[in-house]
């Protein structure tokens, strides 16, 4: 696991250890891991951009599969586009080369709804569509998808990928994306009873609760190889809502909750992305399914954040 300390990695690592055994899932990140990961199985500080160390680590530990989650997300990528491009592409290419050189048997690399752009149909965006992203994050993810498909076709590497929508979770804070507002809003609702949204009230985006994203990832990785017909990345839709609708869902539990709106540079990123996603190809190929909607996710988010707050 590369990127085990991040929003997804901190939960996916635990789930993989539950399935394959703590000692069989080697967790790595540039930064310290949460105690639950660091203390219960192998963990190493490792920079995925350091290809020599990455290779030594993989050989020494007889690594057979890699989940590479290291990336600069959309908001941070607009703050430092050149670095984001270099990091996002080198992190992926080092992993692909590792797979080719060591003959690894499976790779997971996440893409994003950010591969779509302002010229893509916004509602029910299909698996195959116009892709002209105008954010650095989206450009790097689209290029990444092309690299993944190329390595599969050229070197027969079993690489699998999901275009995650915005992911919502309570264990680890999100890492600098545009959909982060949909996590912050729950924390602020409990702490202050109010939230100032950096996206406009009508900005609808595709989102997914973390347990559904983890399940989708495991289901994809465990599916028979002949079922995986898409080797760029699969659309994953989840649910779609805007800041006003998530605020209304919170208000059912916290009646006095107030939301105000002051959009910033992330509005333009959100405006370039789809509002809803058609994921029928993933459903047909390997039975993608979800459990949570806005109401059931809101209940769990508020309960869990209250527990954390003590």
Tokens of 275: 């509002």
Q: Of 6, 177, 237, 274, which lies in the binding site for ligand AKB, with binding defined by CB under 6 A?
A: 177
Tokens of 79: 């703050």
HEC per residue, the chain? CECCCCCCHHHHHHHHHHHHCHHHCCEEECCCCCHHHHCCCCEEECCCCCHHHHHHHHHHCCCCEEEECCCCCHHHHHHCHHHHHHHHHHHHHHHHHHHHHHCCCEEECCEEHHHCCCCCCCCCECCCCCCCCCCHHHHHHHHHHHHHHHHHHHHCCCEECEEECEEECCCCCCCCCCCCHHHHHHHHHHHCCEEEECCCCCCCEEEEEHHHHHHHHHHHHHCCHHHCCCCCCEECCCEEECHHHHHHHHHCCCCCCEEEECCCCHHHHHHCCCCCECCHHHHHHHCCCCCCCHHHHHHHHHHHHHHHHC
Give whichever of 157 and 277 is closer to ligand AKB, judged by the CB atom.
Answer: 277
Per-residue binding string, ligand NAD, 111-150, x by CB under 6 A, is -x--------------------------------------
Chain position whose Cβ is nearest to ligand AKB? 177
Q: Is 114 in the site for ligand AKB (CB under 6 A)?
A: yes
Q: Is 276 in the site for ligand AKB (CB under 6 A)?
A: no
Residue with tokens 């109401």: 295
137 is catalytic: yes
Q: Which one of ligand AKB, ligand NAD, none interacts with residue 31, CB within 5 to 8 A by kind?
A: ligand NAD
Per-residue binding string, ligand NAD, 9-48, x by CB under 6 A, is x-------------------xxx---------------xx
Q: Minimum CB separation from ligand NAD for residue 193, in Å? A: 25
Q: Minimum CB separation from ligand NAD for residue 177, in Å? A: 5
Q: Which one of ligand NAD, ligand AKB, none interacts with residue 69, CB within 5 to 8 A by kind?
A: ligand NAD
Q: Of 74, 95, 120, 298, which lies in the binding site for ligand AKB, with binding defined by CB under 6 A?
A: 74
Tokens of 213: 């994203």
Q: Of 49, 218, 254, 281, which lies in the binding site for ligand NAD, with binding defined by CB under 6 A?
A: 49
Q: Which one of ligand NAD, ligand AKB, none interacts with residue 242, CB within 5 to 8 A by kind?
A: none
Using CB under 6 A as the criterion, which residues of the chain lie in contact with ligand AKB when the complex forms? 73-74, 112-114, 137, 166, 177-179
As annotated, the active-site residues are 137
Where does this chain bind ligand NAD (CB under 6 A)? 2-3, 5-9, 29-31, 47-49, 69-71, 73, 91, 110, 112, 164, 166-167, 174-175, 177, 179
């Amino acid at each position: 696991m590369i990127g085990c300390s991040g929003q997804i990695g901190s939960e996916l690592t635990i789930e993989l250890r539950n399935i394959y055994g703590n000692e069989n899932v080697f967790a790595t990140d540039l930064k310290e891991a949460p105690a639950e990961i660091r203390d219960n199985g192998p963990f190493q500080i490792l920079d995925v951009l350091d290809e020599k160390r990455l290779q030594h680590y993989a050989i020494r530990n007889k690594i057979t599969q890699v989940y590479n989650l290291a990336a600069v997300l959309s908001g941070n990528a607009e703050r430092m586009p050149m670095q984001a491009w270099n990091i996002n592409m080198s992190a992926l290419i080092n992993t692909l080369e590792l797979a080719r050189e060591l003959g690894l048997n499976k790779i997971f690399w996440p893409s994003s709804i950010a591969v779509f752009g302002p010229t893509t149909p916004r509602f029910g965006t299909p698996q195959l569509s116009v892709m002209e992203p105008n954010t650095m994050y989206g450009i790097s993810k689209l290029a990444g998808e092309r690299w993944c498909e190329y390595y599969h076709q050229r070197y027969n590497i079993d690489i699998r990928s999901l275009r995650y929508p915005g992911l919502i979770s309570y264990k680890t804070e999100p890492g600098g994306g545009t959909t982060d507002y949909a996590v912050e809003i729950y924390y602020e609702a409990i702490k202050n009873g109010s939230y100032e949204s950096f996206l406009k009230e009508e900005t609808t985006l595709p989102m997914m609760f973390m347990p559904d994203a983890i399940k989708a990832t495991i289901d994809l990785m465990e599916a028979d190889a002949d079922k995986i017909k898409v080797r760029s990345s699969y659309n994953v839709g989840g649910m779609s809502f805007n800041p006003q609708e998530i605020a209304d869902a919170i208000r059912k539990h916290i009646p006095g909750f107030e939301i105000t709106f002051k959009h910033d540079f992330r509005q333009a990123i959100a405006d370039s992305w789809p509002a809803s996603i058609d994921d029928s190809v993933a459903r047909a190929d390997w039975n993608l399914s979800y459990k949570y909607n806005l109401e059931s996710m809101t209940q769990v988010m508020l309960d869990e954040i209250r527990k954390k707050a003590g």
